[in-house]
Amino acid sequence: MNKRKLIVANWKMNLNTSQASMLLHRLHERIRIHRDIEVVLAPSMLTLQPLSVQIDRRKFRLAAQNAHHKDEGAYTGEVSFTMLQDLVHYAIIGHSERRIYFEESLETVRDKVAASIRNDITPLLCIGETDIEHREGQTRQVLHDQIVSGLADVSSTDVKEMVIAYEPVWAISTFGGKLAKPSDIKPIFDFIRNQVKDLYGPKAAKEIRVLYGGSVDDQTARGYLEIEGCDGVLVGGASLNYVKFSGIVSSAYRMLNEKDDQSEK
Ligand code: 13P
């Protein structure tokens, strides 16, 4: 069962190819390999190919930020999961920026999750409520709908490999960036696993990886990583800064090493 801590950098629509290559170089210098940590970089579509050549695969894996749900065809301007198959391990699907700015519906997200799995790419399904939904007490209903629809075409075998990232929209730096308290996130994580349990049973609920995202940086990462049942973090703004992002990986590193030390005592 793969339960390594997953630290994902979502570079969003930032960095041209040479800037991305420079950032990768800096991260490579600072990040050490840890058997229980997986570091994933999600650069722009344009940059995936050159980075895939440059990358040290023992240290980093690549993710796409999006792709089209059809495998091929007359969809001008789009890139399919089929085309990304040899380049990426993961694909971020249903990010709130895609749901909000590009009006991606629950059905589109469902089809992208299915396309990703069909093409042997692990989906990283993003879910999260907006500020208004949060204030009106609709968080659980929104997450329920996003989970049930997002997983509608996923088999019980495939779901165990998947990743769900809980990113409350109000906590994302560019949407307001209110800092969520880890103690407030814990019950939501339990809720998410319970939803998976209702759909697929306890084993899947335990095995699926659940991440937190929303204004995570080198100062706050550990608080989230320590939440019971948190398998990692999805980082936006801070992932563009090599000091901050490598600091987040170091937080995970220190936490795991302290746990190892304690278990040896
Ligand atoms: P920030 O870390 O900038 O809040 O972005 C979070 C995010 O959207 C990652 O996918």
pLDDT digits (tens, 9 = 90+) for 56-89: 999 999 999 999 999 999 999 999 999 999 999 9
Which architecture characterizes domain 5-264 according to CATH? Alpha-Beta Barrel (3.20)
Q: Is 32 helix (H, G, I), strand (E, B) or coil?
A: coil
pLDDT band at 260 (very low <50, low <70, confident <90, very high): confident
The residue written with tokens 């999260």 in the block is 128
Instruction: Report the pLDDT value the prediction gives residue 3, as an integer from 0 to 100.
Output: 81
Q: How do residues 137-176 score in pLDDT, each as one tens digit?
A: 999 999 999 999 999 999 999 999 999 999 999 999 999 8
Helix and strand tally (H, E) in the chain? 12, 8
Residue 83, amino acid: M
Q: How do residues 120-137 score in pLDDT, each as one tens digit?
A: 999 999 999 999 999 999
Does residue 94 have its Cβ closer than 6 Å to ligand 1? no
Nearest CA to ligand 1 atom 7: 236
Domain boundaries, the chain: 5-264
Does residue 163 have its Cβ closer than 6 Å to ligand 1? no
**Distance in Å, CA 148 to ligand 1 centroid:** 23
Q: What percent of the chain has pLDDT over 70?
A: 99
- Whether residue 189 is predicted with pLDDT greater than 80 in this model: the reply is yes
CA 131, CA 134: separation in Å to the nearest integer?
5
**Distance in Å, CA 15 to ligand 1 centroid:** 16
Does residue 10 have its Cβ closer than 6 Å to ligand 1? yes
Q: How do residues 1-41 score in pLDDT, each as one tens digit?
A: 448 999 999 999 999 999 999 999 999 999 999 999 999 99
Instruction: Report the pLDDT value the prediction gives residue 259, as an integer from 0 to 100.
Output: 84
Q: What are phi and psi of 194, to 5 degrees?
A: -65, -35
Task: Write the CB contacts of 214 (distance below 8 Å, at least 6 apart in sequence).
Answer: 128, 167, 168, 170, 171, 172, 173, 177, 180
pLDDT band at 261 (very low <50, low <70, confident <90, very high): confident
Instruction: Report the pLDDT value the prediction gives residue 210, as an integer from 0 to 100.
Output: 98
Mean pLDDT of 86-114: 98
**Distance in Å, CA 96 to ligand 1 centroid:** 10
Dihedral sign (CA 235, 21, 72, 85): negative
Instruction: Report the pLDDT value the prediction gives residue 1, as an integer from 0 to 100.
Output: 47
Instruction: Report the pLDDT value the prediction gives residue 176, as an integer from 0 to 100.
Output: 83
Nearest CA to ligand 1 atom 5: 236
Instruction: Report the pLDDT value the prediction gives residue 2, as an integer from 0 to 100.
Output: 47
Mean pLDDT of 212-221: 97
Nearest CA to ligand 1 atom 2: 236
Average pLDDT score, the chain: 96
Task: Write the CB contacts of 243 (distance below 8 Å, at least 6 apart in sequence).
Answer: 30, 218
Catalytic residue among 38, 97, 133, 167: 167
User: Strands (DSSP E) along 97-231, which ranges?
Assistant: 122-127, 163-166, 209-213
pLDDT band at 253 (very low <50, low <70, confident <90, very high): very high
